Structure 1
Amino acid sequence: MFKSAFDGIHRDLFTDAFAFRPLAPLAPGSRLLRVVPRGLRRYARWLPHAAVVALTVCLVFQAFAHSMGLAAMLLIGVPLLMTLVRPIGAWWCSVGAIFFTITVGPWVEVAFSVHVLVMMLVAMRSRPRVAGEMWLLTACIAAFLTVFRPVVGVDGLFELLVVSAVLLFAVFAVRLLRESRQQVVAQTAVTEAERSRRTVLEERTTIARELHDVVAHHMSVVAIQAEAAPYRVQDTPPELAAAFVTIRENAVAALTELRRVLGVIRSDGSDAFDDPEAPQPTLAALDGLLANVRGAGLAVDQVTTGVVRPLPQGVELSAYRIVQEALSNVLRHAPGAAARVELSYVPVGLGLRVVNGPPDRLAKPSPGAGHGVLGMRERVAMLGGEMTDGPTGDGGYEVTAFLPVSVAEAAA
């Protein structure tokens, strides 16, 4: 036990004691820099260095005012300044200053006071064990001077040791609190990033599940049509019959592979997809969705412009889901607000806009909410569209999206 303790002291205070360990400037995200004007932050990063230098200058001038001499001023200034670049070496210099003052000057208490200050500065940058080892050796030095080398000015060394222990404890309490806050912030950021990633993956899983339904339906139609086509034409040429057989075989093979790759997504046990045969909603079901949210207490109007026409199933499904999520967000985050859903049919696609007014009361906390916009963006990006969202001038919120439709899809 004692051997391991001595090994630790040797490793911490003797090995590479004068190694170059410069004090790093303040991090860009430091709370102190947030209150400094942006133009001065590049200089404010060096505030800790400036504080140590200013403290050293003040103490040296005070020593000069008390006519302590050049040697005393050096014994005060050198260890303090060394804490900026060689912290453990600075502590040893202050130890040397203590023994030097015993032989050449009556400044033992001054040297010990500077030594305590050096210990505090080093403790701010070291592990608690290192600070404990420095204090223990300092106590041994004080005991040695009190018992074996009694000189003027050592009567208050015990009190100085007690004060230094309290100060070191305060330093580490503040440091521990700061590190705990940093860990909480870092963990919160990691948790938020993980939630965002999980939300995106869940939404992509939902999209993949829905695409499975859409593509599987169309591939099934292709296979059935290819199988029935030869029976609808009399005297079908063998080449044409063989082509239909090939089309059907390829469609069945593609459908099998599609179900093998994407069909496993249905096994996640999601309540929303307990019925694998349930048809996916389209804009034709939008009236039912609006009726449901009205029943939940949301006053919502629908405005449709342009010529209403059937759109590709993927576009209609995504449009329905975007409106559904946007209205859900209004219910969660803007209680008492009125909403409006706008659909704009244009030749090259579909425009969506869901806007709500300001809430009339505070929203209740909604754990896990707040990532629905990510899902909407995923759907819009999947179709090659564009989406914007943000607050309105009256305190409400709006979501706008455009889902393009190619000329071939529009003609179909």
Structure 2
Amino acid sequence: MSNGSSTPRARRLARLRALVRRGVPAGARRPLHALGLALATPRPAAPLLADARYVWLRHLPYVVAFAFVATLLPVTITVLTQDYRLDGALAGALATAQTAPLLLAVTRPLQSWWIILSADVAGALLLIAADGTAGRQWPWTPMVVVGYLALMLAVGLREPRRTLIGVWLVTGAAGWLCGLIAPNLSQPVHVLLFVLSGVVLLVTGTLRERGDAQRRLVEQETISEAERARRTLLEERARIARELHDVVAHHMSVITVQADSAPYRIPGLPDAAREEFGSIAASARESLAEMRRLLAVLRSDGTEGERAPQPGLDRVQQLVEATVRAGVPAELSLATELGDVPQTVDLSAYRIVQEALANVVRHAPGAPTRVSVRPDEDGAWLTVLVVNGPSPERDARRSPLESTGTGHGLVGMRERVRLTGGSLDTGPLPDGGFRVAARLPLRTDPAASGTATSVKGSLS
């Protein structure tokens, strides 16, 4: 039974497809198919202006839609019953179908368009048999034109360009077909609606695309800024790792030499001790080889100069003198007896002073600067302090340091402090200057260095 009934249906569908293929050129099938998919695939439901900054602006579409419905619904019923002489029940149902979906257009404009367009076409067909239609606007009444243009405003602010083109073409086709059905009643109003709806869709679609482009640009800038900050951080870490290679390699070389020479320096060593020293030397050499391979990965093009010995606190005086020659009146207070400073702390302290002075030269030219490097009373911590005043050459309208700089030097300071287990405090001063204060451990025992790293006033 089912096979017998389905066979004629399948034949009718096949004949219909064949007619469509013969009636529609092959080149037009794909665009029509794309337009059909666009009209049948609305965007995810979200209220219009949902991303607006102000609350009243987010609620504005609901207020406007309610105002249109509250105005058009009674007017439509009155005009249909009194002017077009349509039955009161039909007029009420038709007016509700043509106006109430405007409330749905705030969140689902394409679905609302399908409902309102169907109601408008149905209303045009019903008005053919009405007594007062002759000589009046048909197929679209004045209320239909106003409500439809309001609907086009919502559709244009939500849907993509292809959907807007489909909506516009279907609007013109509906008016044209109604004119073919009753040419004696047709008025130029369907042409007017076709033109006005196209203008509204064009303007609102352009505004929406511009807003989407600006939003994508802001998102891309945010992503680029995050990637740039991450890349800067990774570059600083790689640079610090390359510098620390020399420090660690020196210690490993000393261990290798001591382990290799122990059997010759210490007479009477048992064989087990000789084997142990040999194993220590072999492990140290293997570690040095692994470090060299790691350094080859970290070392980028043009960094051959970094193979030179790394500077320390003994070169801070030269650094300050170079800064003075650059036009910055800088003073140095360097403790004469620093004691045994770990190489990592020695290098980190020098780099912190170097980056701080570079920031002064770049952002506060001519500003009086004070550099202080000294240990605390018990010799457990090394304090590095760089303080500069306001620049006499600095424009008062210029942004502060943390806004105009790239933050590359401050990123390096944070990483070096984190590496040594110290603390860093940076930030602007009330008089317009800037302060960099680092506290680095001079001892490696937990009581002296602490268990956590503190970084305050981090700027990027």
TM-score, L = length of structure 1? 0.83
- 1:170 Cα deviation (Å)? 0.9
The residue number in structure 1 matching 2:441 is: 404
Residue of structure 2 aligned with 1:350, choices 375, 382, 386? 382
For 2:360, the equivalent position in structure 1 comes to: 330
Counterpart Cα distance in 1 of 2:328 and 2:411: 23
Deviation at 1:217, TM superposition (A): 0.6
Contact 1:21 1:87 in 2 (8 A): no
- Cα distance between partner residues in 2 of 1:394 and 1:367: 18
- Give 1:60 deviation, angstroms: 4.1
**Mapped partners of 1:65, 1:375: distance in 2:** 76
Q: Say if 2:120 is the partner of 1:98.
A: yes
CA contact (8 A) 1:330 1:337 kept: yes
Percent identity between matched residues is 35
Distance 1:410 1:219 in 2: 26
Distance in 2 of aligned mates of 1:407 and 1:140: 84
- How far is the alpha carbon of 1:88 from its aligned partner? 2.5
Larger Rg: 2
Cα offset for 1:99? 2.6
Where does structure 1 lack aligned partners over 5 or more consecutive residues?
none
Q: 1:370: which partner in 2? A: 407
Letter in 2 for 1:274: G
The equivalences for 1:157-176 within 5 A come to 157-176=190-209
Which digits, 9 at most, give the CA deviation of each residue in 1:59-102, with x for residues without a partner? 44665897977456524431211213443331122212323433
Aligned length: 395
In the TM superposition, 1:1-400 aligns within 5 A as 1-13=27-39, 15=40, 22-24=45-47, 30=51, 32-33=52-53, 36=54, 41=55, 45-60=58-73, 70-71=92-93, 73-102=95-124, 103-104=126-127, 108-150=141-183, 154-266=187-299, 268-271=300-303, 273-274=304-305, 276=307, 278-304=308-334, 308-346=338-376, 347-359=379-391, 360-362=393-395, 369-400=406-437
Residue type at the aligned position of 1:99? V
Aligned partners of 1:25, 1:160: CA distance in 2, in Å?
Answer: 24
Retained in 2: the 8 A contact 1:108–1:153? no
Distance 1:243-1:96 versus aligned 2 partners, 3 A rule: closer
Q: Is the 8 A contact 2:48 2:157 kept in 1?
A: no
- Is the CA contact (8 Å cut-off) linking 1:340 and 1:356 kept in structure 2? yes
Amino acid at match of 1:57: A
Contact 2:389/2:432 (CA < 8 Å) preserved in 1? yes
Contact 2:48 / 2:107 at 8 angstroms: preserved in 1? Answer: no
Q: Larger deviation: 281-290 or 307-316?
A: 307-316
CA drift at 1:115? 1.6
**TM-score, normalised relative to structure 2:** 0.75
Q: Pick closer, same or farther for the CA change 1:138–1:409 going to 2, 3 Å.
A: closer
Cα 1:157/1:260, change in 2 over 3 Å: same
Moved more, 335-344 or 293-302: 335-344
Amino acid at match of 1:23: A
Determine if contact 2:330/2:368 at 8 Å carries over to the other structure: yes
Q: Work out the CA distance in 2 between the residues paired with 1:214 and 1:409.
A: 21
- Kindly state the Cα deviation for residue 236 of structure 1 after the two structures are TM-superposed: 4.5
Unpaired runs of 5+ in structure 2? Answer: 1-26, 82-90, 128-132, 449-460
Letter in 2 for 1:379: R
